[in-house]
Amino acid sequence: MRQRRGHAIMVAFPFQGHITPYMNLAMKLASKGFLVTFVHLEFIHHKLLSSLSEPDPFTMARKSGLDIRYTTISDGFPIDHDRVDDKYWEFMLLNFWIRVDEFVGKLIRSSDPDLVPFLVTDTLFTWQTAVAEKHNLLKVSFWTEPALVFSLAYHVQLLRENGHFPCKDHVEEEINYVDGVKSVNTKDLMPYLKECRSRTLVHKVQMKAFDEVKKADFILHNTVYELESGILSALNKIQPNYAVGPISFSRNLPASVTRTLWSESDCSVWLRSKPPGSVLYISFGSSLQDSKQIVGEIAYGLLLSKVSFVWVVREDADLPSSFRDEITERGLVVPWCNQIKVLSDPAVGGFLTHCGWNSVLESMWCGVPMICHPLDYDQPTNRKLVVDDWKVGINLCEGGCVEREEVCEKMDGFMNGGVSERLRKEMKKVREKLHDALENDGSSEANFEQFVKDLKAKLA
């Protein structure tokens, strides 16, 4: 009997930190013989156009033999709508599924009947079950943050029973009762589990997302088993979980596919003029902005220090007005860059980061120790992994208050002193785990193969 071919239907969650790994997952699935229909929301497509040479980001992927069809759907909001307000999140939470449902219905009706469609969704979307049940589809959920964050959010009921959800804002207690999680202090919990956020829409979206993921047929994690083995093994007792990261560094993915939403400034000429390991790379990711006051303290701290730096600043207005005039050749400020290229440059010796999970993975992949300054979402919990567990980073400020003198001291010490030597030694071990996982016989490759096998068996 002829085996029917699987058809992955993928709608991208509209944030940079989710788009890159998800596009890489799409290509990885296509490389295993699946047909992929990849969908961006129209406003994301519109943003991408400025950095794309072709209107379809997967053109080059197709040229290298991957069967990926690209299309867009509208979320019904104007292209330039500021999609951070409650109105937008409410729509995403309650009504977006109707648009996806229409799209999926049409796609299935017009597809070759030999194809077996299935959904591959970002875990943070909240419509998988509604759409999958209507069309009788298998559900693959893709989690783009560490397994520790997943496990804590997955076990909110247990946290609730122990008085840690919603967590009182200034309480510091150890959570040591979640299977597989050694111990996490409540101060390191994701802020959306805290009491002060419990009425926000972001909180509601996260909670609904974790109700949904419990109904998924497969869960993929963009992490490495060897880094989070206890947690992943414990989760595996409940549902099929596969650690397949860091997916963006998977072998043989076409490099020339545009995954980021802004044009990249080239830093390589400037970096070439700097001695090895002497430059601090600074970026706080794609979506969050620190307060003007804190950005100012970091900027003045940099000026006081002797450190050379590349700083990604998306909103120039947040920098102190004289900053650019004062940095001379010691610093380079860019609106966006190719972060992996910068982190791979021999001149770069440290990364001041907000601890977004992609940034953490990229830094570890390149072996660059971190100074951590988490802002929100999963970042405080990721910081705990980087600083306390894996010991490949330090905190920017110990007391939670960012002051220029401390920033200066930390940066100078980190870039020139013995601190980074100690971190570098630990980093070597972690980096090796990441690279090994993506070798042909590595855990992430093996897990991906196993996932493909299990999926095909269920699709048959």
Identify the residue among 362, 390, 392, 442 touching ligand UDP (CB under 6 A): 362
Rounded to 5°, angle at Cα 247 from 241 and 142: 40
The first and second tokens of residue 97, run together, are: 């599924």
- Determine if 281 is a binding residue for ligand UDP (CB under 6 A): no
Distance CA 181, CA 179 (A): 6
Considering only residues 84 to 143 of the shown chain, the ones binding ligand UDP according to CB under 6 A are none
Contact 253, 24 (CB under 8 A): yes
CA nearest 121: which of 147, 134, 139?
Answer: 139
Instruction: Please report which helix (H) or strand (E) contains residue 163, including its range.
Output: none
Q: Read off φ and ψ for residue 388, nearest 5 degrees.
A: -85, -40
- Determine if 57 is a binding residue for ligand UDP (CB under 6 A): no
- Determine the interface stretch with ligand UDP among 128-136, 205-213, 221-229, 279-287 (rule: CB under 6 A): 279-287
Rounded to a whole number of angstroms, the minimum distance from the CB of residue 339 to ligand UDP is 3
| Nearer of residues 324 and 453 to ligand UDP, judged by Cβ | 324
- The three-state secondary structure class of 95 is coil
Contact 226, 443 (CB under 8 A): yes
- Determine if 223 is a binding residue for ligand UDP (CB under 6 A): no
Q: Read off φ and ψ for residue 379, nearest 5 degrees.
A: -65, -40
- Determine if 287 is a binding residue for ligand UDP (CB under 6 A): yes
| Nearer of residues 20 and 129 to ligand UDP, judged by Cβ | 20
Site string for ligand UDP, 318-337 (x = CB under 6 A): ------------------xx
Distance CA 437, CA 247 (A): 10
The first and second tokens of residue 257, run together, are: 């596919």
| Nearer of residues 18 and 139 to ligand UDP, judged by Cβ | 18
Rounded to a whole number of angstroms, the minimum distance from the CB of residue 356 to ligand UDP is 2
Distance between start and end Cα atoms, the chain: 11
| Nearer of residues 129 and 363 to ligand UDP, judged by Cβ | 363
- Determine if 358 is a binding residue for ligand UDP (CB under 6 A): yes
Rounded to a whole number of angstroms, the minimum distance from the CB of residue 392 to ligand UDP is 15
- Determine the interface stretch with ligand UDP among 55-63, 74-82, 162-170, 356-364 (rule: CB under 6 A): 356-364
Identify the residue among 10, 12, 20, 267 touching ligand UDP (CB under 6 A): 20
Rounded to a whole number of angstroms, the minimum distance from the CB of residue 4 to ligand UDP is 35
Strands of the 5-11 sheet, one edge to the other: 68-73, 35-41, 5-11, 115-122, 138-143, 218-221, 241-243
| Nearer of residues 146 and 349 to ligand UDP, judged by Cβ | 146
174-175 and 184-185 beta bridge pairing? antiparallel
Query: Residues in the site for ligand UDP, rule: CB under 6 A?
Result: 15-17, 20, 260, 283, 285-288, 312, 336-340, 356-359, 362
